[in-house]
Amino acid sequence: MSLTPVGSLPTSVAELARRVEVRLDQLLAPELERWAAVDPELRRPLSTLRSTVLAGGKRLRPAFCYWSFVGFGGDPDAQAVIDAGAALEMLHAAALLHDDVIDGSARRHGTDTVHIQYAALHREGAWRGDSDRFGAGVAILLGDLALVYSDRLLAGAPPEAIEVFNEVRLEVNVGQYLDILGGADRPRPAGGGKAREAEARARRICRYKTAKYTIERPLHLGAALASPERLVDVAEALSSFGLPLGEAFQLRDDLLGVFGDPSVTGKPVGDDLREGKPTLLATLARAQVTGPSSRMFEERFGSPDLSESEVLELRAVIEDTGAREQVEAAIERLAAAAAVALDALPVLSEARHTLGALAAFVTERDH
């Protein structure tokens, strides 16, 4: 099955997103009132969590979960799969809240990140203590709340589904650690085996931080909800589709983080360069940069104070090494592997078609 590029998500995905958002609001609206009754000061953080979770986004994780569920014979109108999709979105919100603190990110979806908002609130109120530390503390706590609510949404799911969800939460934390380690400990590869080792680590981070929890595990979760007894038999086939596609998704994200349009992505271009993210894009560039550009790359990549002109210079260096082209080629190879695996998936034709459209979107998207 070919992955025909598409400019937008299928309409069926938009309707699913609406159902998931309704479920999220059904959970969080009464929780907001419940805790505000305990102490009025709790209205603000619960409102922030609610607005953060409902702020939009592509709702890709619920979509992959849902169409796996339907593909293996699940009832399209079942509430259980909507609850699972909402749980995945809560997990995603928790990961983003924590990730923004770890990375020191200032903007997401075109607005200030939560830790920035609460640091500003602290400063405006002339409160005691350190404003940045206060903002980070609030964001971490809201991420923890989101994790608790994700558990609540999956209460009553079959044990096979709970185990999938537990595994994905372990994997995303392991991937996040490897990511921050890679940003801190990044010796320059000297070529040959060291270069290959650095590339392998970049791919490993990509797999565990994003690929598994974005596509592979949502597919497993949908199958576990639809037919728990079949999960063992179909998990490998789903992974053959979900893992390369999830890696392609993250590689596209890495390209957008350096070369994307901020007015479309909602995030500043250059944050990955300032943070020294150990992406495959950066790893390939570092291995191949030569001459004066090599010194500039080593001295300035990963510097929080990178100016806009230096961001543009580093972008040009990366482009000149051929790393951008190599990552684009990797995305094409991964998308092709996912397409072959999708053809072999034992799912209903409607699900196969929509999964193919989703695959095309995640590999060709511009945001």
Instruction: Kindly report the CATH number assigned to the domain that includes residue 226.
Output: 1.10.600.10
pLDDT at position 84: 98
pLDDT at position 10: 78
The number of distinct structural domains making up the chain is: 1
Cβ–Cβ under 8 Å, residues 360 and 60 = no
Q: Is residue 3 situated within a structural domain?
A: no
Which residues are paired to 108 by β-bridges?
111
Q: Is residue 48 situated within a structural domain?
A: yes
Output the pTM of the full model.
0.93
Residues 6+ apart with CB under 8 A from 300: 306, 310, 314
Q: Is 307 exposed, middle or buried, given 0-12, 13-18 or 19+ CB atoms closer than 10 A?
A: exposed
Cβ–Cβ under 8 Å, residues 301 and 314 = yes
Give the 3-state secondary structure of residue 93. Answer: helix
The 10s digit of each residue's pLDDT in 157-170 is 999 999 999 999 99
pLDDT at position 1: 43
**Residue 339, number of CB atoms within 10 A of its CB:** 19
pLDDT values of the chain reduced to their tens digit, one per residue, 367 residues: 444 344 567 788 889 999 999 999 999 999 999 999 999 999 999 999 999 999 878 899 999 999 999 999 999 999 999 999 999 999 999 999 999 999 888 888 878 999 999 999 999 999 999 999 999 999 999 999 999 999 999 999 999 999 999 999 999 999 999 999 987 875 555 455 677 888 999 999 999 988 999 999 999 999 999 999 999 999 999 999 999 999 999 999 999 989 988 777 767 778 889 988 889 999 999 999 988 899 889 889 989 889 999 999 999 999 999 999 999 999 999 999 999 999 999 999 999 999 999 999 999 887 7
Q: Nearest 5 degrees, angle CA 341-CA 346-CA 347?
A: 100
Report the distance separating Cα 276 and Cα 126, nearest Å. Answer: 33
Report the distance separating Cα 297 and Cα 315, nearest Å. Answer: 10
Q: Is residue 4 situated within a structural domain?
A: no
Q: Is residue 188 situated within a structural domain?
A: yes
Cβ–Cβ under 8 Å, residues 108 and 267 = yes
1, 290, 356 from 340: Cα distances, Å: 7, 38, 11
Report the distance separating Cα 288 and Cα 321, nearest Å. Answer: 6
- The two tokens of residue 146 are 């989101």
Q: Is residue 312 situated within a structural domain?
A: yes
Which structural domain, as residue segments, surrounds residue 168? 11-364
pLDDT at position 2: 40
